[in-house]
Structure 1
Amino acid sequence: MLPTVNLRPPFNITRASHVVLHASDLARSRDFYVKIVGLVVTEESDGECYLRGLSEACHHSLVLVQAKGEATCRRIGFRVMFEEDLDAAFAWFKAQGLPADWVEVPHQGRTLHVADPIGTPLELCAQMKTCERLYLKPERFTGAHAQRLDHFQTFAPDCRAACAFYGQLGFRNSEYLAHGDKLLGAFMYRKGTCLDLAIVENAGPKLHHFAYIVPESHHIFTACDLAGNFGYAEAIDRGPGRHGPGGMLYVYLRDPDGHRVELCDGHYQTIDIEIEPVRWDAASLSTNVRWGLPATERWYFEATAFEDTPTIPPTQMPKPQTLETYIQQRAAVKAA
């Protein structure tokens, strides 16, 4: 069912590292991520703000950049283990006929800009300036006490092709969504937990969300309370609830520009090679939630565009059970 994974990839990606987002109002977005999500500001200027979670030692996991136009996602970033992995990545992407360019990025060591076959803009680095971890300084805690960046979820017009590409780079599947023989969602990882990159079939490439781990499940509800108190009640996009895949408690929020961030508690380890991926039937409601109602249509189809990256439609648009269709079905049953 799933494409083959290269367990000895040409270079060693270790984890999801950081995301760079445009913000139409930098100060407002900064406040959202500090007061509600609970990130801390590492450094800021007139046009940029670097943030990190309480347990993160590296300089940033989220970069907000003042937008000059549409508030898009500039790039998603991954770490590699060694400097030589960057050289190997450069050679590999060039050999595949894919973009690969060396760039200068503040607070990072050598940085490589690459893209996957559908144009998803990726950033690879082996080093980043380090700072003090703040998880033992409760006087600095705000919001949901976000600890660390965990994963990204992207849209791709052909999930199987995207899964096969990242499988060449050593990404393994912890779980996946399928309908018959059709692969609709791949939950892939490098760091030994169940997610670094989730890929869902839809018009793409787009960034559906990025996720931070919170230390206690009650912080998910804290984020919702704070969102309401700070005028973001309608920004609660989905949940709180419990996922089927991964089994995490979660809530999804939309920031002032509509970028979607997930807060979730921890999940299981996937290091051992004999562990088989878990298959989920995409037609099952339990795929989406263990309890509660399905998500709205906007959660399934709205996502952040990548900067200067055209969107490719899938050959067949997915038709998930949304809250809207669920209500219609329930109403039809009652009327019958």
Structure 2
Amino acid sequence: MLPQTSFEPPFTLTRASHVRLGVTDLDASRTFYSDVIGLVVTAETDDTVYLRGLEEDAHHSLVLERADDAWAHRIGLRVRTEADVLAAERHFRATGVEHRRVEQDHQGATLQFRDPVGTLMEITSSMETVRRKMADFHDFRAGAPQRLDHYQVVTHDVQTATDFWAGLGMRMSEYTAKDGTDELWGTWLEVKGNTHDLVFTNGRGPRLHHFAYTVPDATALIHAADVTGSKGFGREIDRGPGRHGLSNALFLYVRDPDQHRIELFTTHYQFIDLESEPIRWDVSNPRRAQQWGLPASERWFFEASEFPGEAVREPLLTATPETLEQYLGLH
């Protein structure tokens, strides 16, 4: 069933903001994200590294936190003002959503919560600002990632997740459904005017499938793949380069030393006007995820980062896309 977006949500979300990852070797992860991916290190302590894209003036969009296990600690979204954080508290209290106020370095008012399918979230109203490096071309490395754009979460219940976030003002730009139905297999949800800030896809969840940064162009994407290979991470290219049907972007997926997955991609089309209808894709149509060549491997479809303390549940839907291994077995 297609969701009904609330155009008068209880508080105002503005964009995907930041992600917090637990990493087991902080030095190795710092090197990977700064030298292989090309992010900028804003600040660091003995236990934490803060990074950002070249366009970003927000203090961080990726936080690496030293941990015993490689968890996806939190997914971050921005809200417009501190009043929105207070409104979110009131709304969650009234609707029974588990939440708590926290203090986070370099951030303004911050509220952590758990959505109905177990995704561990964090919203903040502001962040310390730093100088943008988008014109420091001498500092561009690898794919020269510009800004954090979106997340993809694997969930056992796409419909419940989609309905919850539509109720908070997110619009669905595209979706994948079981063939011949509107039984949701995947939904692409946005608040900032392009195709997605938050994606939910069917599978064992909740787990973070990937987080994604924009890159300037196709040349930067190819250079990112070259650098990944020359730095010894060629086997960790999980998928691509390729072109998605959904969102129409060129993409490259890479796994970090703890197997967290990052996507580099060449951004999306606009999805701003309210009369624009979401685009539907059959789950059996391979072009939805890859316009060129072969389908993704089993590990791209079935491996993802777990959230701490959240039990992983089996998906409600049984429809699954064709994997590379299945394709090769049939041809």
Q: TM-score, normalised by structure 2?
A: 0.98
CA deviation map 1:149-195 (0-9, x unaligned): 00000011111111111000001011000113221000000000111
Map 1:98-113 → 2, pairs under 5 A: 98-113=97-112
Structure 2 contact 117–157 (Cα < 8 Å) conserved = no
SS at match of 2:131: coil
Q: Could you tell me which residue of structure 2 aligns to residue 64 of structure 1?
A: 64
SS at match of 2:69: coil
Q: Could you tell me which residue of structure 1 aligns to residue 258 of structure 2?
A: 257
Say yes or no: does 1:77 pair with 2:94.
no
SS at match of 1:55: coil
Looking at structure 1, the residues matched to 318 and 309 of structure 2 have their Cα atoms a distance apart, in angstroms, of: 23
Q: Could you tell me which residue of structure 1 aligns to residue 14 of structure 2?
A: 14
Say yes or no: does 1:287 pair with 2:297.
no
Q: TM-score, normalised by structure 1?
A: 0.96
Looking at structure 2, the residues matched to 196 and 160 of structure 1 have their Cα atoms a distance apart, in angstroms, of: 17
Structure 2 contact 283–319 (Cα < 8 Å) conserved = no
SS at match of 1:46: coil
Say yes or no: does 1:277 pair with 2:278.
yes
Percent identity of paired positions between Structure 1 and Structure 2: 47
Structure 1 contact 202–318 (Cα < 8 Å) conserved = no
Give the deviation of 1:319 after TM superposition.
2.3
Looking at structure 1, the residues matched to 147 and 135 of structure 2 have their Cα atoms a distance apart, in angstroms, of: 14
**Aligned residue type for 2:290:** V
Q: Could you tell me which residue of structure 2 aligns to residue 159 of structure 1?
A: 158
Looking at structure 2, the residues matched to 271 and 320 of structure 1 have their Cα atoms a distance apart, in angstroms, of: 29
SS at match of 1:113: strand
After TM superposition, the runs of 4+ consecutive aligned structure 1 residues lying more than 2 A away are 315-319
**Aligned residue type for 1:105:** Q
Map 1:32-181 → 2, pairs under 5 A: 32-67=32-67, 69-179=68-178, 180-181=180-181
The CA RMSD measured in Å over matched residues stands at: 0.9
SS at match of 2:96: coil
Say yes or no: does 1:190 pair with 2:186.
no
CA deviation map 1:63-95 (0-9, x unaligned): 00111x211011000000011110110011111
Looking at structure 1, the residues matched to 56 and 275 of structure 2 have their Cα atoms a distance apart, in angstroms, of: 30
Give the deviation of 1:237 after TM superposition.
0.1
CA deviation map 1:255-314 (0-9, x unaligned): 010000000002111111110000011111111211111000110010000122111111
Q: Could you tell me which residue of structure 2 aligns to residue 213 of structure 1?
A: 214
Structure 2 contact 117–160 (Cα < 8 Å) conserved = no
Looking at structure 2, the residues matched to 235 and 93 of structure 1 have their Cα atoms a distance apart, in angstroms, of: 39
SS at match of 1:177: strand
Looking at structure 2, the residues matched to 198 and 318 of structure 1 have their Cα atoms a distance apart, in angstroms, of: 18
Give the deviation of 1:315 after TM superposition.
2.5
SS at match of 2:148: strand
CA deviation map 1:105-136 (0-9, x unaligned): 00001110111012211101001000000001
Structure 2 contact 38–145 (Cα < 8 Å) conserved = yes
**Aligned residue type for 1:250:** F
Aligned residues: 329
